[in-house]
Amino acid sequence: MQLVDDIGIRAEKDKDILLMTHIVLGYPSFAVNREVISQMVENGVDLIEMQIPFSEPMADGPMIVKANQDAIDNNVTVADCLEFAAEITVRHDIPFLFMTYYNIIFKYGEEKFLRRAQELKIKGLIVPDISPEEGKAFFALAEKYQIAVIMIFAPTSTAERMKELASYGNGFIYCVARKGVTGRATSFDEEFNSYLERCRRSTRRPLAVGFGISSKKDVDYLTGKADIAVIGTRTIKLVDAEGAAAVGPFIRGLRE
């Protein structure tokens, strides 16, 4: 197992692949977020990305878009999200990342946001709508505050672009499993395998694969091909349908 040392992941010897999950902060409530995170950590999740709600989440599918909007409609603020993160990162001894969009960070103030993230022990940021060419100052500030900016590969990325992206940021590389947005199933076929091989050749960093990962079968397929499997929409749907208590058995079942 390849370790992601610079964002604090400690891979256990019996884990052939790590699990990363995704929650939308404030959806359906912070109380439910708190219970869901506990269920995730207690059942073997290795790191969690916490999404700060934004009104136009371009990389997200209908389920996560709705969760973002519902949180905003419930008056969830950036300050609320940061306060919640302060509680959670102390309570649970795994790495936490923020996922959000650049407008949130820009409006808050780049350095102010990064300084606060460091104080909260946030290990990384996933910001889909900022490129390294546009965000050179931001990337430099993130390095100053020891926050890993996670770069994103897509099936449409050329080998040259992958190598360029891999020269920026830190931590791991997030490999989007298919074209489009989150939520739809991903086809694991030769085209997908070829894409992951291109990703692997482009960087020595660990690879996280997300978008459409929703079952033990998916996680098993990625084992040996990727370092981290990312489960997002599936757990949000599960909470909506069955409540937070259903998350623990689901997560546990991904490795049984």
Each domain of the chain, given as residue ranges in start order, spans: 14-253
Is residue 207 within 8 Å of residue 226, measured between CB atoms? Answer: yes
Q: Which two tokens stand for residue 81?
A: 């999200």
Q: Looking at residue 255, what is its pLDDT?
A: 86
| pLDDT at 178 > cutoff 70 | no
Q: Looking at residue 180, what is its pLDDT?
A: 41
| pLDDT at 181 > cutoff 50 | no
The sheet with strand 18-24 has its strands ordered as 148-149, 124-126, 96-99, 47-51, 18-24, 228-231, 207-210, 173-176, 151-153
Q: Looking at residue 188, what is its pLDDT?
A: 75
Which of 46, 49, 218, 227 is flagged as catalytic? 49
Cis peptide bond upstream of 206, omega within 30: no
| pLDDT at 1 > cutoff 70 | no
Q: Looking at residue 186, what is its pLDDT?
A: 52
Strands (E), the chain: 18-24, 47-51, 96-99, 124-126, 148-149, 151-153, 173-176, 207-210, 228-231
Q: Is 197 a catalytic residue?
A: no
Q: Is 70 a catalytic residue?
A: no
Q: Rounded CA gap, 60 and 78, in Å?
A: 19
pLDDT digits (tens, 9 = 90+) for 197-234: 999 999 999 999 998 888 999 999 999 999 999 998 99
CATH for 14-253? 3.20.20.70
Mean pLDDT confidence for 104-110: 97
pLDDT digits (tens, 9 = 90+) for 41-81: 999 999 999 999 999 877 677 888 999 999 999 999 999 99
Task: Classify 57 in phi/psi space as left (phi over 0), alpha (psi -120 to 50) or beta.
Answer: beta
Amino acid residing at 143: E
Which of 5, 46, 60, 220 is flagged as catalytic? 60
Q: Rounded CA gap, 138 and 183, in Å?
A: 29
Handedness of CA 66, 207, 81, 144 (dihedral sign): negative
pTM of the model: 0.91
pLDDT digits (tens, 9 = 90+) for 108-134: 999 999 999 999 999 999 999 999 899
